[in-house]
Amino acid sequence: MRLDGKTILITGSTDGVGQRVAERLGAMGARALVHGRDHGRGARVVDDLHAAGAEAIFYPADLASLAEVRRLADTIRNDHDRLDVLVNNAGIGSGGRWAMRQVSADGHELRFAVNYLAGFLLTALLLPMLRTSTPARIVNVASAGQYPIDFDDVMITRGYSGGRAYTQSKLAQIMFSFDLAQRLNNTGVTVTCLHPATYMDTTMVRQAGTTPLSSVDDGADAIINLAVAPELEGCTGLYFNRLQEAQANPQAYDQTARATLRDLSLRLTGLAPA
């Protein structure tokens, strides 16, 4: 498969599975827009892609800040006239059993902010580009670990655990995917989400004290499948477990819960009046 002329943004692509996705899409001819927080790692990834004959550009941004998410979106829009695929991959793991509650630059629970809210805002800001590049795809990298959202305490100020925060943020990604897919039906922009692989050999997994069970190539296979596989053209509103369509947590199919999450997210990101 060749992807010449396609522009693909992969958030969180200076390490782990995101880096492998950027490398493989670049090798297929896509212009890989690499994102991360660390300038040094970003430069090394882009240099390696260039050495392999791929086209790549690094865009730094800390997704724990909504202002930086907006700056990232502005820069992408200024630098490119099209965006064919957006892969929302950046995230923070559970942190293991001793994880402490932290907040983002905007005062939101950190895992909810980085894993979900940043992707929600970035997608909204880049959606006009995706609409003019149809057929285009949005892929949200979620997890099989999913915890229902308590809308009375979304920021988990009571009974906090890193595992609960992480799995709640991943279910939020899936709910967002289903909701956005429904609203973009028949526009030429599709939205899918997935659990790429179980306990990949990544920094996130090792920092949580978990023994890796899968490789980053396993996860990259699944992400690339949703991002560019011709046989999935037009498929939208689906959740995949690796390469197979699967069922998500029941809350993901609750229209009322999805609307509540959407309204909350619009307020928190400043896309709607507080």
Report, as residue numbers or ranges, the catalytic residues.
166
Count of all residues that appear for the chain in the document: 274
Q: Token digits for 130?
A: 């995706």
With b for 16 or more beta-carbon neighbours within 10 A and e for fewer, the 190-221 pattern comes to: bbbbbbbbbebbbebbeebeeeeebebebbbb
Single out the residue of 33, 20, 58 nearest to residue 215, CA to CA: 20
